[in-house]
Structure 1
């Protein structure tokens, strides 16, 4: 539930509305970091049985993947690939894309152009700059 003053003191043009929107019916491929992937954050082991055709294919794929790993054999003769953290894992992650919007006006009406930020960090920075200006004006009296 949004906070809405009963009787705004200023005209609608004096306000800005900040919002984040997403479409729950649209999913897109994304990177590990954005979805909080545990393998990306902590690293992971892939244990491969190279005595099988599938295992040989998996090992060849890993060796050609351009990821950083250490390779060793375990007691059972299986190949263990130990991947360092902070690199893309092998999963296909998906997320719902978000739009970071700033528009003139408030709940009474939209006025002017809508600004769409491509990154959340840009939107947050814009909010902080705007709030800083408001606080400065308030402190001036």
Structure 2
């Protein structure tokens, strides 16, 4: 077993990709949100039609001032286009001064963390054996 491994996370600051609300911690996704629309204007009528056709879950109410309030439930995609920088989760054999062995690339953070935990568990087992 290789005792020395280098664990790193890399991203390119010049490359952004579209991502989902949950990944960026969108507060609208987490808590829901309201959109207040004035349907007496052409823009407001277009916005309301877009919302009604959006397949999102909401409750519709009308105010005394004649505005339409759309209350959206949490845990659904909001209307923003979120972006993030894609990350690579790397594991290299050897320490930071010399790379030996293979390079492993995880695409999900959860897989990388699990790999770290498994490796640390093996090291602790070896140490306990003496």
Question: TM-score normalised to the size of structure 1?
Answer: 0.87
1:51 pairs with 2:33: no
Distance 1:97 1:15 in 2: 27
Partner residue of 2:59 out of 59, 70, 73: 70
Distance 1:129 1:33 in 2: 27
Partner residue of 1:123 out of 112, 116, 124: 112
Structure 2 gap segments, 5+ residues each: none
User: How far apart are 1:112 and its partner, in Å?
Assistant: 2.1
| CA deviation map 1:57-110 (0-9, x unaligned) | 111111111111101101211110000111110001111111100111112211
Distance 1:128 1:91 in 2: 36
Contact persistence 2:3–2:123 (CA under 8 A): no
Question: TM-score normalised to the size of structure 2?
Answer: 0.94
| CA deviation map 1:19-59 (0-9, x unaligned) | 00111111111111111111111100000111111111111
Report how many aligned residue pairs link the two structures: 129
TM-align CA RMSD: 1.1
